[in-house]
């Protein structure tokens, strides 16, 4: 009796396990544990040149398409995971960047949390902005990257110091510094950014703003002149003004939110180490970099910034500088520029920390996209290892390729087409290397086609005919065929 009870419990647990087991999503092909979901395949096939309405398809046609478009990728993925490349330092660095991009991109998960579904603009706001837009301003501007310095300069201005003299001495805008901060052209209200527009709305010539904090610097602005501008009739422009106010409110909201993260996560820059870091800053052909080779190991490991849950050392800063988007690549002319770069670059990591704190990386939508990107990055890394990219060619290779192409090129000289030919030859050689690597992997990993799912897809494509004739026969065979 005791044995019967034990057997009953085991069977019950097994049944429960089977019921709770997650059903595998339909797929068309599998290599090791890597699959192509049916929904992904169908979407791509239906949008491909191979697909035509009212054409009869059979399973072999689908298999050929799968082999041409997916199998090599699955082979590199399978080998990549077999080698543990998901833990490779290059892969983890790329995945970290992609995770931040997915969670913090415009209209992404974090954006949806902080931006209301609808931004309201009243008729009064539209009319007020229209009235303000009937003026244009001649201004002078002092740009700072250090709030304390901006406050001290503003205190001097309040005591009567000359604006132009202070701009020449302190402004970090190289375009207007020498002219005493004066901007050459008149600027229409509504085109200067929401912080400046809000401050200048009711200002008159001679007046000076307090320090205006934005994500891209701190500004003190002086109104030199203000004159009327011939604005179009209100009836013609009020829809555009309404949209501009919405965009302005959105920018103000997201920028204020980004700035608030510095305080929320107790962000601090290690100012004491920045002069030493700046001493190792080099520019080559207008591109800035940190010379780590000439830098003491102790300095490389020194922290330049830290916040709740994270920190950067100098090596991380060097990496950020090497991969920074162009808007952040202003040359470093002072230690303040280094601090400014650190603050602007780190806001992406603060936003990621916030997204993680809100659990946005736990949603099914994020996990699905992140998994697909992880697989892509792993297979790319595996391909880089198994088929290292050729980047240089010998003169003999270029000459031989030119001779092969003479019939197509006619009388065109090698000098005229060299860049094009070299690019094509490198492409051909690297493609062949990848093919050879994939060929070796085909001998290592079995490729399984999901015959039952392919039959279903054939029928869904409206082929009937051949597929229907063989449906019963194929149904008797195994679902996965190597």
Computed over every residue of the chain, the mean pLDDT equals: 86
Residue 22: burial class (beta carbons within 10 Å; 0-12, 13-18, 19+): exposed
- Record the pTM: 0.72
What whole-number distance in Å separates Cα of residue 68 and Cα of residue 293? 45
Whether the CB-CB separation of 81 and 32 falls below 8 Å is answered with yes
Contacts of 342 by beta carbon, 8 Å cutoff, 6+ apart: 269, 304, 305, 312, 317
pLDDT of 110 reads 92
- Interacting residues of 210 by C-beta distance below 8 A, sequence separation 6+: 154, 199, 220
Q: How many CB atoms lie within 10 A of CB 378?
A: 26
pLDDT in tens, 49-91: 888 766 778 899 999 999 999 999 999 999 999 999 999 999 9
Contact 164, 182 (CB under 8 A): yes
pLDDT tens digits for 262-292? 999 999 999 899 999 999 999 887 788 899 9
Long-range contacts of 327-332 (CB under 8 A, 24+ apart): 329/287, 329/288, 331/283, 331/286, 331/288, 332/278, 332/281, 332/288
CA 365 distance to own-chain centroid: 17
Quick check: 4 pLDDT over 50?
Answer: no
The secondary structure of 282-293, three-state, reads EEECCEEEECHH
Of 318, 330, 325, 328, the residue nearest 290 (C-alpha):
318
Q: What's the pLDDT score for residue 213? A: 86
- Three-point CA angle 254, 258, 262, nearest 5°: 160
Structure tokens at 355: 């997204």
Determine the Cα–Cα distance for residues 100 and 116; give it in Å rounded to an integer. Answer: 21
Q: How many CA atoms lie within 13 A of 328 on its CB side?
A: 20
Instruction: Supply the Cα-derived Rg of the chain in whole angstroms.
Output: 31
Distance, CA of 120 to CA of 66 (rounded, Å): 49
Residues 95-108 as b or e (16 or more Cβ within 10 Å = b): beebbbebbbeeee
Residue 3: pLDDT band with limits 50, 70, 90: low
CB 481 within 8 A of CB 447: no
- Measured between alpha carbons, how far is residue 30 from residues 26, 349, 449, 452, 479 in Å? 11, 36, 7, 13, 12
DSSP state of 161: -
What token pair was written down for 102?
């997915």
φ/ψ of 120, rounded to 5, equals -85, 135
Return the CATH fold of 134-230: Chitinase A; domain 3 (3.10.50)
Q: Sorting pLDDT into bands at 50, 70 and 90, what band is 464?
A: very low
Task: Return the structure tokens found at 389.
Answer: 């990219």
Angle at 105 between CA 270 and CA 125, to 5 degrees: 95
Report which of 347, 349, 267, 307 is spatially closest to residue 99, judged by C-alpha positions.
349
Q: What is the pLDDT of residues 414-436, one digit of tens each?
A: 888 999 999 999 999 999 999 99
Across the beta sheet with 217-228, the strand order is 187-188, 135-144, 217-228, 212-214
Nearest to 453 by CA among 24, 105, 17, 118: 24
> Which H helix or E strand runs over 28?
strand 27-31
Structure tokens given for 56? 């009869």
Confidence of residue 244 (pLDDT cuts 50, 70, 90): confident
Q: Is 285 left (phi over 0), alpha (psi -120 to 50) or beta?
A: left
Q: CA–CA separation, 419 vs 378, rounded Å?
A: 32
Q: Where are the beta strands (DSSP E) in 122-216?
A: 135-144, 187-188, 212-214
Of 20-34, 43-57, 449-463, the range with the highest mean pLDDT is 449-463
Contact between 217 and 144 (Cβ < 8 Å)? yes
Q: What is the pLDDT of residue 84?
A: 97
Structure tokens at 450: 């999901």
Read off the pLDDT band of 200 (50, 70, 90): confident
User: Residues spanned by CATH 3.10.50.40 within the chain?
Assistant: 134-230
Integer angstrom CA distances of residue 194 from 64, 132, 199, 231, 286: 56, 13, 8, 19, 31
DSSP lists the bridge partners of residue 256 as none
Q: Is a pLDDT exceeding 80 seen at residue 329? A: no
- Among 288, 245, 260, smallest CA distance to 124 is for 245
């Amino acid at each position: 009796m005791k044995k019967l009870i034990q057997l009953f419990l085991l069977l019950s647990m097994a049944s429960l396990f089977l019921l709770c087991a997650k059903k595998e999503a339909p797929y068309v092909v599998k290599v090791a544990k890597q699959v192509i979901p049916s929904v992904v395949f169908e979407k791509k096939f239906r949008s491909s040149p191979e697909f035509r309405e009212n054409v009869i398809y059979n399973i072999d046609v689908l298999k050929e398409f799968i082999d041409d478009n997916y199998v090599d990728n699955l082979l590199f993925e399978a080998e990549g995971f077999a080698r543990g490349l998901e833990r490779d330092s290059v892969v983890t660095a790329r995945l970290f960047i992609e995770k931040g991009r997915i969670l913090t991109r415009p209209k992404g998960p974090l954006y949806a949390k902080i931006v209301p579904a609808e931004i309201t603009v009243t008729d009064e706001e539209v009319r007020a902005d229209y009235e303000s837009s009937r003026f244009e301003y001649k201004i002078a501007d002092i740009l700072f990257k250090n709030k304390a310095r901006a406050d001290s300069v503003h205190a001097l201005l309040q005591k009567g110091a000359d604006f132009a003299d202070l701009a020449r001495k302190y402004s970090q805008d190289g375009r207007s510094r020498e002219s005493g901060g004066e901007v050459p052209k008149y600027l229409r209200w509504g085109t200067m950014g929401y912080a400046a527009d809000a401050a200048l709305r009711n200002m008159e010539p001679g007046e000076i703003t307090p320090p205006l904090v934005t994500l891209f610097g701190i500004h003190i602005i002086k109104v030199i002149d203000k004159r009327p501008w011939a604005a179009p009739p209100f009836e013609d422009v009020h829809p555009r003004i309404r949209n501009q106010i919405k965009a302005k409110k959105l920018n103000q909201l997201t920028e204020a939110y980004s700035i608030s993260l510095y305080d929320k996560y107790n962000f601090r820059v290690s100012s004491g180490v920045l002069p030493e870091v700046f001493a190792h800053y080099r520019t080559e052909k207008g591109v800035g970099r940190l010379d780590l080779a000439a830098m003491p190991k102790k300095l490389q490991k020194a922290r330049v910034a830290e916040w709740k849950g994270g920190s950067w050392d100098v090596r991380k800063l060097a990496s950020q500088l090497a991969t920074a988007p162009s808007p952040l690549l202003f040359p470093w002319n002072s230690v303040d520029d280094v601090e400014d770069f650190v603050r602007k670059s780190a806001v992406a990591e603060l936003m990621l920390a916030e997204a993680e704190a809100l659990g946005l990386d736990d949603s099914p939508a994020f996990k699905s996209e992140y998994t697909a990107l992880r697989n892509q990055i792993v297979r790319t890394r595996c391909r880089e290892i198994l088929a290292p990219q050729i980047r240089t060619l010998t003169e003999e290779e270029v000459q031989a390729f030119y001779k092969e192409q003479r019939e197509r090129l006619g009388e065109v000289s090698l000098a005229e087409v060299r860049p094009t030919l070299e690019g094509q030859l490198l492409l051909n050689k690297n493609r062949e290397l990848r093919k050879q690597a994939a060929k070796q992997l085909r001998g290592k990993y079995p490729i399984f086609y999901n015959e039952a799912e392919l039959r279903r897809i054939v029928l869904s494509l409206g082929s009937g005919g051949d597929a229907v004739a063989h449906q019963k026969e194929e149904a008797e065979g195994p679902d996965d065929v190597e």
